[in-house]
A = this chain, B = another copy of it.
Amino acid sequence: MVICGKERYNEPMTDTRTRILDTAQELIQTRGFCAMSFQHIAEIVGIKKPSIIHHFASKFELGKAVIQRYHQYFLGAMQGIQHDPNKSNRDALEFYFTPYLDFGESGDKVCLCGALAGEFMALGPEMQAEVREFFAAHERWLEEILTAGKAAGEFRFGGTSHQLARMFLSALQGGLLVKRATGSTHQLLDVIDVIRKQVH
């Protein structure tokens, strides 16, 4: 299952709106929101710059739409495995690592909202609210998995699920950022390794 957009990127039949969203997301994840321009998107998608406005009223609106879609894909997939009776909480935690690993392997991407958090004050109130909501929902999901896993005897850890969820989320977000900056592939793998040990 593909989690975070861009799956049909090279198919010319994909509708323009989706290709704009895909390209914008990729540019934000690699270069950041402020460094992403309509001109750059238009060149990649193969349309003219003002045509983007036909699909998204403003750059902030486009940014909002990118986050909303990302939120829906990401959390949708996580909730899917959470409520799958054939999957354990440990399965869910392992599945949770995969998008981070995908970003890390795909070269130079970080989590969309991790990139946006770095330029948070320049985003405008609506995009800020979307980023905030993503992290909150994200953290809630992780906490539920940890709580359920502990109750089921799958996980063993001290402290609260809430604290540990915050730690894991922070560590993975930071791990991706540091990994890209240092170019060290193991940065993220080491973080995940420590997380695994921390719940058993």
Interface residues of A (CB under 8 A from B): 30-32, 34-35, 108, 110, 113-122, 128, 131-132, 135-136, 139, 158-159, 162-164, 166-167, 169-175, 177-178, 180-183, 186-187, 190-191, 193-195, 197-198
Task: Verify B190–A166 contact, CB threshold 8 A.
Answer: yes
Complex contacts, A113 vs chain B, CB 8 Å: 181
Copy number in the complex reads 2
Whether A108 touches B132, Cβ cut-off 8 Å, given contacts A170-B178, A177-B174, is: no
Query: Are A171 and B182 neighbours in the complex by a CB distance under 8 Å?
Result: no
Q: Is the interface of A mostly helix, strand, loop or mixed?
A: helix
Instruction: Give the chain B neighbours of A34 by CB distance below 8 A.
Output: 32, 34-35, 119
- Which of B122, B167, B177, B178 is within 8 Å of A191, CB to CB? B167
Q: Which residues of B contact A183 (CB under 8 A)?
A: 132
**Known contacts A34-B32, A34-B34: A173-B163 contact under CB 8 Å:** no
A186 to B159, CA, bound (A): 15
A169 and B159 alpha carbons, distance in the complex (Å)? 20
Closest residue to A175 on the B side, CB-wise? B170
The answer to whether A158 and B190 touch across the interface, beta carbons within 8 angstroms, is no
Q: In the complex, what distance in Å separates the CA atom of A34 from the CA atom of B173?
A: 21
A190 to B32 Cα, complex, angstroms? 28
